[in-house]
Amino acid sequence: MQMIAATKNKGKIREIENIFGKLGIEVVSAEDAGIDVEVEETGSSFIENSLIKARSIAMFCDSIVLADDSGLCVDALGGRPGIYSARYAGEGASDSEKVAKLLKEMKGVTERSAMFVTAAAVVFPDGREVTAMGEVRGYILDAPEGNNGFGYDPVFYSREIGKSFAMATDEEKNSVSHRSRALRALYEKIKDFPEMTESE
């Protein structure tokens, strides 16, 4: 059984394989499956955007399709940047530019609690759709710390691991990350589906 992941991120592919591979499922990117689709994220929530991505890929194949949408929600900013996290500093902005904009907005703010959120969605060939959420809470640092990870990882401090995500190893981050929690929750929801048990 093959699962197509709507991502080009090799790290995400490995993370999905680590969870769903135990069912004997082969995880491939849409690109490796020969599907090249530009998806416009027009949803008003993480769930809606993850479903838009998964449905867009599912139109071109007969495989199970998995997609996710993630973002950083800062309490003092009313939940921003939220679903606009990737475009927070403008289209094509670098990770460092996004972080710089966030720190500028947070200057002088003492209440710095925040959370990373992921919505994961699976669309089956017969049209069934299953979604799950994952989140990890922490707070925004005054300055970047660490060189690992990507996006807002250098300024997101996780109390659970006692360091910024950019200071953490992949193993440490994945043990508490919003994406791994969403993927594990999704796994629990669909692991006993006939299509999944046939792959074992």
- Give the active site residues: 69
Lookup: tokens for 37: 């689709």
Question: Omega before 81 cis (within 30°)?
Answer: yes
Rounded to 5 degrees, what are φ and ψ at 149? 70, -160
Rounded to 5 degrees, what are φ and ψ at 6? -80, 65
Whether 183 and 117 have beta carbons less than 8 Å apart is answered as no
Lookup: tokens for 84: 């606009």
